[in-house]
């Protein structure tokens, strides 16, 4: 019963996000995953027991992979399909699939808002650490099912080991005041119009962009620190 209510809630959320025509806000500001690759990864995860075919010939293996790729695109043809009970993927594995389906370099985000946040956060931490940003938009379980548009991860520069993670949810819904993500980034339509630094945007206001990067960047930094403390049993 709890799962049905959860699924219904996510379907409504998916419908709401899909009402934005054209390029979605999250994709413009945070980028998007490689959609085709994500579908293949998600399909392989959900059908992992069927994927292993020991002893099959290379021709049969190639044929099976082609069929799998076609089936993956059909299975997740609509973003709302991600919320189906039989296609559920838990949070931890959703994160792993999103990381594998990145279209760009997580250490050098291309979309302007993700790029500015990444730069600001990098400056807040010492050279002993480095950051990666992973977008979850573009049709993923992490976005549609778990309410996360992206996440930052902090790593040790020397060992390359993961130290902390902070999730974000980006919205322009003035009524939204809660999120499953660690940080809710709520921006007004007016702010969004002023934040895009592209040359053709005559409304661009650097102060508006900087103020939001600092405000939300500090929240993300605090979430990373809190997660680091939690993982290492450090009390406040």
The pLDDT tens digits along the chain (236 residues) read: 233 344 445 445 444 544 343 247 899 999 999 999 999 999 999 988 776 666 667 677 667 777 888 888 888 887 777 888 889 999 999 999 999 999 999 999 999 999 999 999 999 998 999 999 999 999 999 999 999 999 999 999 999 999 999 999 999 888 888 899 999 999 999 999 999 998 788 999 999 999 999 999 999 999 999 999 999 999 87
Residue 78, domain member (yes or no): yes
CA nearest to 116, candidates 16, 221, 213 = 213
In-domain check, residue 75: yes
The CA-CA-CA angle for residues 220, 223, 227, to 5°, reads 140
- Tally of structural domains, the chain: 1
Nearest to 27 by CA among 145, 151, 117, 113: 113
Structural domain includes residue 215:
yes
In a domain? residue 236: no
Q: What is the CA angle 183-142-162, rounded to 5?
A: 70
The pLDDT value given to residue 5: 40
Asked whether residue 25 is domain-assigned, the answer is: yes
- Whether 104 is in a domain gets the answer yes
The token pair at 80 is 């709302």
What's the pLDDT score for residue 11?
A: 44
Range of the domain at 160: 2-231
In terms of phi and psi (left: phi > 0; alpha: psi -120 to 50; beta: otherwise), the region of 234 is beta
Q: Residue 156: inside a domain, yes or no?
A: yes
Answer whether residue 86 is part of any domain: yes
């Amino acid at each position: 019963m709890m799962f049905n209510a959860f699924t219904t809630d996510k379907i409504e959320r998916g419908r709401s996000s899909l009402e934005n025509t054209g390029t979605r806000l999250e994709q413009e500001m945070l980028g998007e995953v490689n959609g085709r690759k994500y579908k293949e990864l998600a399909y392989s995860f959900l059908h992992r027991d069927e994927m292993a075919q020991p002893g099959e010939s290379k021709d049969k293996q190639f044929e099976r992979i082609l069929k799998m790729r076609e089936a993956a695109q059909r299975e997740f043809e609509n973003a709302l399909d991600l919320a189906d009970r039989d296609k559920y993927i838990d949070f931890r594995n959703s994160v792993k699939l999103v990381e594998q389906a990145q279209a760009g370099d997580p250490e050098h985000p291309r979309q302007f808002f993700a790029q500015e946040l990444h730069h600001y956060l990098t400056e807040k931490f010492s050279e002993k650490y480095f950051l990666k940003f992973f977008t979850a938009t573009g049709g993923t379980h992490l976005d549609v099912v778990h309410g996360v548009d992206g996440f930052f991860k902090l790593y040790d520069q020397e060992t390359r080991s993961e130290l902390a993670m902070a999730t974000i949810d980006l919205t322009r819904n003035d009524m939204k005041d809660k999120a499953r993500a660690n940080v809710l980034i709520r921006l007004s339509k007016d702010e969004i119009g002023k934040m895009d630094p592209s040359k053709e945007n005559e409304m661009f206001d650097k102060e508006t962009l900087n103020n939001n990067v600092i405000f939300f960047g500090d929240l993300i930094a605090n979430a990373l620190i809190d997660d680091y403390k939690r993982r290492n049993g450090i009390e406040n």
